[in-house]
Amino acid sequence: MQIDDSHFELRLAGSEADLHAAQRLRYAVFVEELGGDGPLVDHAARREADRFDPFFDHLLLLDRRRAPEDRVVGVYRVMRAEGAAAAGRFYSEGEYDLAPLRASSRRLLELGRSCLHRDYRGGTAMMHLWAGLADYIADHEIEVMFGVASFHGVDPAPLAQALSLLYHRHLAPAPIRPVARPDGYQRLDLVPEADLDRAAAVRAIPALIKAYLRLGGFVGQGAYVDRAFNCIDVCLVMDVAQIPDKHRAIYRRSGP
C-alpha cells in the first residue's frame, strides 16, 4: 500500500515564529516527557531554549493538516563550524573535549535536539527529517557529523550493559574520538566484554542512537551525566564517507 505523505512539509526555520514552534515541540518532549530543564527554559510560554539556538539552523517537519500554531511535528537543529565560531564553541563542547575533531580539518556538522511529536513516532516522519538532513549535508559538503544523544535518567547502573556494548563494539577511532569532560564523566566500560548480554544491551539503547550506529556511527570516550536534562549523554560521531552502502541512500539528495 502506497503511503501518502503529501501533507508533510520540510524546511529550515526562517523566522522567530518558526523557532518558537520548534522550541515548543522540544519543550513537550525534553521537559514535559523527559523531565529536562535549563536556565533559558520558558515554562510560562512552554519553550525549551538555550543560548545556542540563534547559531543553529533548525530543520522543521510540518504537518499541514494540523492547526497553523501546532504544525511543527519534528525538529533537528544543526550547526556548522561557522555557527560554532559565532557562538564561541559547539554546544557539545560543554560536555566533551572535541579537540580531535577540530584538529582533523574536516568539515564538521553538529546535530542536536532531534525529536518528534509523540503521535508521529514509528512512522515515516523520522525518514523525512533524515532526508532533509541529507540535503543539508550535501549542500554544505559535510564530512563528519557529531552530537550528543541521550539515555533517560542519570543512574548508570540500569544502563551498564548498553554503555558497555557501546564501549566494546562502537568506540570511535582515536583521531576522531571526543572525550567526556571530567565534571560529568561516566565510564562506559562497566561490564567486561566477555560478560555482555548483547540482547539486553540493544534493548536498552534508544532508537535514535541505534539508528546512528546502523549508519556506522561511533561513540566518544566516556559518557557525560547531564543532571539538568535528567539524562546520560554519549557523543556520537559519523564519518559521512564511511556510511555503509546499504544505508547510503539515506544521505543522498532527495531531489534530482
Per-residue model confidence (pLDDT) at position 246: 60
From first CA to last CA, the distance across the chain in angstroms is 25
H helices, E strands: number in the chain? 8, 11
Total number of residues shown for the chain: 256
Q: Which three cell numbers stand for residue 139?
A: 549542500
DSSP 237: E
Q: Which three cell numbers stand for residue 250?
A: 539515506
208 phi, psi to nearest 5 deg: -65, -40
31 phi, psi to nearest 5 deg: -95, -55
Per-residue model confidence (pLDDT) at position 255: 41
Q: What is the pLDDT of residues 33-64, one digit of tens each?
A: 988 888 889 999 999 999 999 999 999 999 99
Of all helices (H) and strands (E), which one includes residue 8?
A: strand 8-12
Task: Name the region of 140 (left: φ>0; alpha: ψ -120 to 50; beta: rest).
Answer: alpha
The residues that bridge with 239 in the sheet, in sequence order, are 144
Per-residue model confidence (pLDDT) at position 1: 37
Task: State whether the Cα torsion 92-98-101-104 is positive or negative.
Answer: positive
**DSSP codes, 31-43:** IIIT----TT-BT
pLDDT string in tens for the chain (256-residue length): 345 688 999 999 999 999 999 999 999 999 999 888 888 899 999 999 999 999 999 999 999 999 988 999 999 999 999 999 999 999 999 999 999 999 999 999 999 999 999 999 888 898 899 889 989 999 999 999 999 999 999 999 999 999 999 999 999 999 999 999 999 999 999 999 999 999 999 999 998 899 899 888 999 999 999 998 889 999 999 999 887 766 555 545 444 3
Q: What is the pLDDT of residues 104-131, one digit of tens each?
A: 999 999 999 999 999 998 888 988 998 8
E strand intervals along 162-211: 179-180, 185-186
Q: Give alpha helix (H) positions in the chain.
A: 16-26, 81-87, 99-103, 125-139, 160-170, 198-204, 207-214, 245-248
Q: Which residues contact 117 (CB under 8 A, 6 or more apart)?
A: 25, 28, 29, 73, 74, 125
Instruction: Measure the CA–CA gap between 46 and 145, rounded to whole angstroms.
Output: 30
> The whole model's pTM is what?
0.90
Instruction: Measure the CA–CA gap between 206 and 211, rounded to whole angstroms.
Output: 9
Q: How many other C-beta atoms are found inside a 10 Å radius of the C-beta of residue 248?
A: 14
Per-residue model confidence (pLDDT) at position 71: 95
Which position has the grid cell 576522531?
Answer: 176
